[in-house]
Structure 1
C-alpha cells in the first residue's frame, strides 16, 4: 500500500513544479510570488477535484452507511496524505516570497508564517497524524460512507482557490469573481457545514433512530472528532461571509 503514499509524494510536488513553469510561460509579467501562489491554488484545486470524485464514488456505492466499503476509500487516503505535508510547505513558500525582500530573518519568517496560519496548519497536522492512522489502521473497514462524505467537503475548494487566483490577477471587480464568490459560499456551506448533520441524519435513517438521538447511540469520540473537524469550517465560513459583505459594501 505504501506505493500509493510514494506516488502522492511525487505527484503533488511534481504538479506544482509543472504548473509553476506553465504559469510563468503563460503570464510572464507576474512576479515569482504571484506565480507560486497561483500554482499552489491550482494544485489545491486538482486535489479537491480528485477527493470530491472519490467521495462521490464512495457515497453512491455504499448502501449501508457503516458496513459497506469501497476500495478507493483507503487508496485515496494513502495517495492524498502527502498532500497535507506538501500544502504546508507550499503555503510557507508563498509566505516566504512575500517577506523575502523585507530584510526579515529566516527565523522571523517561519514564526510569522506559524502565527498567521495556526488553524490551517493544525488542521493539516490533525489529518496527517490523527485521522490518517485511524482511517487506515483502526476503523477496520467500517464507515466508508462517512469518509466519502468528508471527501465531498472538498467540492468548495476549487471555487475558493479560483477566487484567490482572480484576486491575484486583480479581477475582483469582474462579474466572474462575484458569481464564483456566490458559488464558493454556497458550496462551502453545504459541503463543509451541512455535511455533518447530514451524516447524523444518514446514520439515523439507517438504524431507525431520530437524528437528535444519534449522538447518544454512537461512541462519544465520534461526536468529538466531528466537532473538532467542523469548528474550523465554521470559522472559515465566517471569514468568507465577512469578505463577501465587505465586497458588497464597497460597491
Structure 2
C-alpha cells in the first residue's frame, strides 16, 4: 500500500479544494453565458463564440502567462488588487482562476447543448402565459437543462483536477501552498527515485477521476428518470 507524506496529502487536498472552488465560482457565469449564447442574437456573437472556445485550443502555458500578465503587480487588474492589498499571483486563488479559465468552455458547451435541445414551444408557452424571461429561465429552462449542468460541472471538476500548465505559471509550484497533485507528480517524476511516489499520486488522481465520472453517470441517470 502506498504511503503519502504530509506534502502529498496536502497536494491531494488542495487539488480537490481548487477543483470544487473553480466549479462553484464558474457555474453561475457558465449558466448566464450559455443562456445568452443560446437565446439572444446580437452583433459580434461569432467573435464571442471564438473567444469562449479559445482556451480549448490555446496551450495552457499560454493561458497561464496571459493570466500572469493580467494579475501580476504590473498588470491592469493585478495593479488594482495590489493597491487594495489583495495578492492573487502565487496563491491558491490563482490556481482556482487558472482552472476556471481553462475549464470554462467545457462547462458552457455542455449547458448550452442542453438549453438548445429544449423544445422552443415550451418556452413560448410560458411567455404566452405571462412569464418574464427570468421566470421562463427558472421554471422551464434550468430544470430541463439540469442534465447538461451536471455534465458541465463534472467536466469542469475533472479538468480542474488535472490542470497543470496554466497553474504552474500563474500560481507556481510551492509545496503546501499551491502545489496540486499534477505539480507534485511532475516534481516526483523529474527527481531521481521519485517514480513510486509519482505512481501513487497518479493512482489517486485516476481514482478521483473515476469517482467523478461515476457520480456524473449516477446523477445524469437520476435526472433523466425524473424528466
Same fold (TM over 0.5): no
TM-score (norm 1): 0.32
Q: Which has the higher contact order (CA 8 A, sep 6+)?
A: 2
TM-score (norm 2): 0.34
